[in-house]
Chains A and B, each alone.
Chain A
Amino acid sequence: MSKRPPITNRVKELREANGGLSQAALGEAVGVTRQTIIAIEQGRYSPSLETSFRIARLFGVGLEDVFGWEGD
């Protein structure tokens, strides 16, 4: 439970690249709370496949442009 998931992400980077979209605005757009976006960005929580797709589609990129496997 406390083990960090081996999934990396570029959510913060993409957020900043898209006009500095706030965590709250991103959360609202994809249907999660600001705290969940924070947890995703810090690598403490792996979002569901549905939320991952929503995030990727919001930024207009592919899933693998947002999420990756640690070490890859």
Chain B
Amino acid sequence: MSFREKSTWVMTAVMLLSGLFYMMSALPYPGSPVMETVVPYVLLVIVLSVAGQVVLAIRSPDEARAPLDERERLVVDRAGYWGGVILAAAIVLAGIAYVVAPNGNMLFHHAVLALIVAQIAQYIMQIALLRRAL
């Protein structure tokens, strides 16, 4: 498994775990102030991401320093495109939900969840493309 794939697996796990944490924090009180949910979530993402990437870099320092090669760049671009499409669709859904139930805090939570879902989808697509060549 390439370093890039390992790194993407780590980020997928981070986004899944932190997304679960966010949902568990936000779902019981969907209309409550957002900062109490978002700040711990952002801190958790930062800590887990940095810790995961540091561990990977210590285990394979040469690979960690190497820039993306031409195939990996294509994979990242293609997965990024589809991640953007998913994000746009999810944000539209969040907007529709706001029209149905106009609550600004809920709109914010939906937008954050859209970001999380799109990011996870992007990472999963990256892994699939890295494994299939392109």
List chain A residues, Cβ under 8 A from B2: 33-35
Q: How far is the CB of A54 from chain B (nearest CB, A)?
A: 11
Chain B proximity mask over A23-36: 1 for CB below 8 Å, otherwise 0: 00001000111111
Docked complex Cα distance between A32 and B66 (Å): 10
Which chain A residues border B134 with CB–CB below 8 Å? 1, 39, 44-45
Size class of the contact patch on chain B: 10 to 19
User: Given the complex of chains A and B, what is the CA–CA distance between A36 and B132 in angstroms?
Assistant: 11
Give how many A residues have a beta carbon under 8 Å from the other chain's beta carbons: 16
Q: Is the CB of B133 within 8 A of A48?
A: no
Chain B, range 103-134, C-beta contacts under 8 Å to A = 129-130, 132-134
